[in-house]
Structures are given as C-alpha cells and as structure tokens.
Amino acid sequence: MLQPEKKIQMEDTIDTAMGVFSYQYLASNDSLLFNITPTHFPPLPPIIDQTISFTIIVALFITMVSLGCTMEVSKIKTHILKPKGVAIAVVAQFGVMPLTAFSLAKVLQLGPMEAVAVLICGCCPGGNISNILALALKGDMNLSIVMTTCSTVLALGMMPLLLYLYCQGFSNLESAVPYAGITLALVMTLFPCGIGILINFYRPQYSKTITKIGLSLLLISMVVIGLLASVTRGRMNVMLTVLSPQLMATAALMPLIGYSLGYILSYLFRVNRSGQRTIAMETGCQNIQLCSAILKVAFPPDVIGPLYLFPIVYIVFQVGEALLLIVLFWVHQRFFKTKKKEKRVYEAVKLEEAGQPSDVAI
C-alpha cells in the first residue's frame, strides 16, 4: 500500500505527463495491446527525441514549400469556375478516408491511442506525392494540384471537425484529442505553402527543383526518423506496437480502399478517365508528413509512444499499392490499347485494298 504522500505524487506525475487524459480514463483502460500508462512507453533520450521532432518539423516545412511550388493561381481559377471535379474530390478526401479510418479502427478493435493515430491519418489532407502518382497514371495534373490545394486549405476546419465527430464513437476518447494543437499545426503549414506559391509565381524556374528536393527529403527523413526511434536498447519491443497485425492491416487497407472508392465515386459522377485516375490517387494519398508532425508534437511522448511512426508504415503501403496500380495501367496501355489500335488500322488497310470505302481514320 502506497503512503498518501507518494500516491498524490504519482497522480501529479501522471496528470503532468499525460496532459490530455484524465487519471480515471487511464485507470479504466485495460486494452490488451497496450495500456496507456506513463511507464509503458519508455522515453527516448532527450537528444534523440529532440532530433526526431526537429527532423519532422523541418521535413514538413520543406515538403509544404515544395507543395506550394506546384500550385498556380491560374489553374486554380480554371477549376473553381468548373468545380465538379474538385467538389467530388473534396467529398472523397474528407468523406471516404475518415470513414474508412473509423470503420477499420472499429472492425480491427484498435486501442484508444491507435484509433487516434489512425483517425488523424485518415483525416489528413492530400499530400504532394499524389501529384507524382497522378502524373505517372496520365491523370489531370491541373485537377490534381487544385485538389491538393483545396484539401490543404479545407483541412483547417474539416480535420478538427471530423476528429471530433468520429472520436464520439469511442468511449472516453472525445476529450483526448488536443484540437487546439492540431489546429495550430494546420495553420502553421499554410506559411511554408504560401512561400512555395510565391516562389512558383516569381521564380517558376526553381519550382521543379524545389519539388524534387522536397520529395527526396520526405523519403530520407522517414528513414532517419525510423532509425533514430529504434537505436536505444529495449525500444524494439515497444516499436512492435506500430507493427502489430491490426495496425499493419489498417495501413494496408486504408489506401487501397481510398483508391478504389475514389475511382468508383468519380466514375458514378461521370468524370472523364484521366480525372477518375486523378481522384483515385488524391483520395488514397494522405499528407503523412503532417500526420507525423501532429502525432509527435501535439501529444506527450509517454502518450503517443512509437505510434507517431504509423504514417511511415502507411506510406510504404500507400506508395507500394499505387506503384502496383501504375504498373497495371502501363501494361494495359501497352498491350491492350495498342493491339486494338493496330487491329483497326489493319482492317482499314484490307478494306482499301479490296476497293471498299473505309470509315476508320488512320
């Protein structure tokens, strides 16, 4: 039995470390995957923890600048005047992905903080990786860029709202999310994005270079963060939390469902083929830099533990599945459409040789 003074000291420590959670909530949580207690996630050495936080923030800043470098005011105006594609894309981005994240968290019975990490990832706006993937699929690049722009701006209001609504579906979780911190992080992302837009407007010759640097830095930073998080002895067992079967299944299914439903939704609303491929990519791709930054900065280390690494797992499946779709698209373009065209040309030549008029244009 603890002495009264020690018991009060322990409760004060818990309240200080956990911040966003109440002591009653911590005591009642009996999740088998992990118990949210101050000692379950051993803290990283301060220097490593600060290095990870600094790396995430710098990577987010540079990648948001590179995202701004892809935005052109003239293209945005064009799609605003004909907003059908953008409207469908926004519904897909903020309708399909958050609902998918919520459904997977429920079906796979994720723990409280796991559910928060997945929901934040699902509610994040689209990232600039989607622009590259849409280009590889011969999508509508103007639509892709405008979609990314709109989702980034709308995330200021939509992301906190969606998190609040979906957290109601988990007991005692509605007050666990630091909405003020998340909103502040979203506001801060507009500043580097604005810098990118100004660079693209006044110095467009540098835009492509900055975009390439931003994407390269994203991949490098994700590897560095993963390595730094696992260097301390004894952390590997804790990091297995983020590699649990439930979270791995969530990371694999979320982008695949996003790609599929985004494509189906755009097809039902009769968007053209290139637009369908673009909306599919924009729906399934999340801004994982923003997600990592929110999870790492907005939550106390003892609460979030290694779960800020979930976006890294997500991006592996997100890009891997997109590359598979790209390969299938290229195969279809190379072997099916080409053969069909060649057959039509051959039949037209035969008709001309037989002295019959041809209605096939060569």
Q: Which residues contact 200 (CB under 8 A, 6 or more apart)?
A: 68, 69, 70, 71, 72, 207
pLDDT digits (tens, 9 = 90+) for 43-75: 667 777 778 888 888 888 887 888 778 777 676
Phi-psi region of 305 (alpha: psi -120 to 50; beta: other; left: phi over 0): left
Give the pLDDT confidence of 294-330 residue by residue, as tens digits.
888 888 877 787 888 888 889 889 999 999 999 999 9
**Separation between Cα atoms, residue 110 and residue 232, nearest integer Å:** 26
pTM over 0.85: no
pLDDT of residue 257: 94
Q: What percent of the chain has pLDDT over 90?
A: 16
pLDDT band at 141 (very low <50, low <70, confident <90, very high): confident
Q: Is the pLDDT of residue 28 over 70?
A: no
Residue 156: how many CB atoms within 10 A of its CB? 15
Determine the pLDDT at residue 91: 85
CA nearest 62: which of 156, 186, 204, 191?
Answer: 191
Nearest to 206 by CA among 70, 300, 329, 319: 70
pLDDT of residue 83: 73
Of 264, 320, 325, 286, whose CA–CA distance to 97 is shortest?
286
Cα Rg, the chain, nearest whole Å: 24
The per-residue pLDDT of the chain, averaged, comes to 75
- For residue 9, pLDDT beyond 50: no
For residue 350, give the 3-state DSSP assignment.
helix
Helix (H) or strand (E) holding 307, with range, is: none
Of the listed ranges 9-13, 207-211, 258-262, 263-267, the one predicted with least confidence: 9-13
Three-state SS at 294: helix
270: left (phi over 0), alpha (psi -120 to 50) or beta: left
| Assigned token pair, 80 | 């605003």
DSSP states along 11-46: HHHHHHHHSSS-HHHHHH---SS----TTTSPPPPH
Token pair for residue 181?
């911190």
In tens, the pLDDT along 11-26 reads 443 343 334 333 333 3
E-strand stretches of the chain: none
Determine the Cα angle at 102 with ends 95 and 254, to 5°. Answer: 75
205-234 pLDDT, tens digit each: 888 888 878 777 777 877 777 777 766 545
Among 232, 286, 287, 296, CA closest to 55: 296
Q: Give residue 347's pLDDT.
A: 52
Q: Rounded to an integer, what is the distance from CA 179 to the centroid of its chain?
A: 18
Which pLDDT belongs to residue 362? 39
> In sequence order, what are the residues at sequence separation of 6 or more whose Cβ sits closer than 8 angstroms to the Cβ of residue 38?
13, 14, 17, 18, 302
Is the CB of residue 281 less than 8 Å from the CB of residue 141?
no
